[in-house]
């Protein structure tokens, strides 16, 4: 069995991404709230996952975006930099292209409204539903938040219950609380 040097392996992965030979590239990003699996297509950032099981997530990425899936750090570098700045308190908004093309229209509409919730502020599910011109759809908005493919960047942690309490978060309430504390929304 032949082993490949880490440098050669990295150059291969970078070349595959650079030459657009991938449907989706992914890598892992360390953060104060755990390791994140981050995936991007040629259109933009497509997925952020907490506690991802790599093999299962690679299969899911292949089913969703296409079979050419490869761990390749280069396409993720800008996302990694912006996430690091966010966690260091130096970034309040993300400037990344996003790939939401495979989402249903309602989901995209809600996520566009979610992206407008400012750093350090919170909104209820009902308020977000009203902003999306669907005032009776608070429960449906909750489902969209639970399935948000880009937590942190599309800040579903900023959505709280009607009673002002932290409820529901795909990454766990302890992460939601940590993100809101980081932003100064919780004392």
Q: Which two tokens stand for residue 187?
A: 């004392």
Write the CATH number of the domain with boundaries 105-182: 1.10.10.10
Residue 38 · residue 96 · CB < 8 Å: no
Residue boundaries of the structural domains of the chain: 6-87, 105-182
| Active-site amino acid positions | 156
pTM above threshold 0.85: yes
- Residue 165: count other Cβ atoms within 10 Å of its Cβ: 8
Residue 42 structure tokens: 């040629």
Which residue, among 84, 86, 74, 101, has the nearest Cα to 29 in the 3D structure?
84
**Phi, psi angle pair for 83, to nearest 5°:** -65, -45
At 149-172, the pLDDT tens digits run 999 999 999 999 999 999 988 899
Residue 42, burial from CB neighbour count under 10 angstroms (0-12, 13-18, 19+): middle
Is the distance from CB of 102 to CB of 43 less than 8 angstroms? no
Q: Which residue has the higher pLDDT, 2 or 79?
A: 79
Whether residue 8 has pLDDT greater than 80: no
Token readout for 48 is: 């952020």
Structure-token pair, residue 109: 């509409």
- Segment 93-134, tens digit of pLDDT: 999 999 999 999 999 999 999 999 999 999 999 999 999 999
Q: Which CATH code for domain 6-87?
A: 3.30.160.70
Host H or E run for residue 41 = strand 36-41
């Amino acid at each position: 069995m032949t082993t490949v040097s880490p440098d050669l392996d990295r150059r291969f992965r970078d070349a595959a991404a650079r030459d657009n030979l991938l449907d989706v590239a992914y890598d892992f990003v360390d953060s104060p709230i755990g390791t994140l699996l981050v995936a991007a297509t040629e259109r933009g950032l497509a997925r952020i996952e907490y506690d991802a099981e790599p093999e299962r997530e690679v299969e899911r990425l292949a089913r969703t975006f296409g079979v050419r899936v490869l761990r390749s750090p280069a396409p993720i570098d800008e996302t990694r930099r912006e996430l690091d700045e966010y966690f260091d308190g130096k970034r309040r908004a993300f400037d990344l292209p996003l790939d939401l093309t495979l989402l249903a229209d309602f989901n995209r509409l809600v996520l566009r409204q979610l992206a407008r919730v400012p750093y350090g502020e919170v909104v209820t599910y009902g308020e977000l539903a009203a902003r999306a011109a669907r005032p009776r759809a608070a429960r449906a908005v909750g489902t969209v938040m639970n399935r948000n493919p880009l937590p942190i960047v599309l800040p579903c942690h900023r959505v709280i219950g009607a009673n002002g309490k932290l409820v529901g978060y795909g990454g766990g309430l302890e992460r939601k609380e940590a993100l809101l504390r980081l932003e100064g929304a919780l004392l």
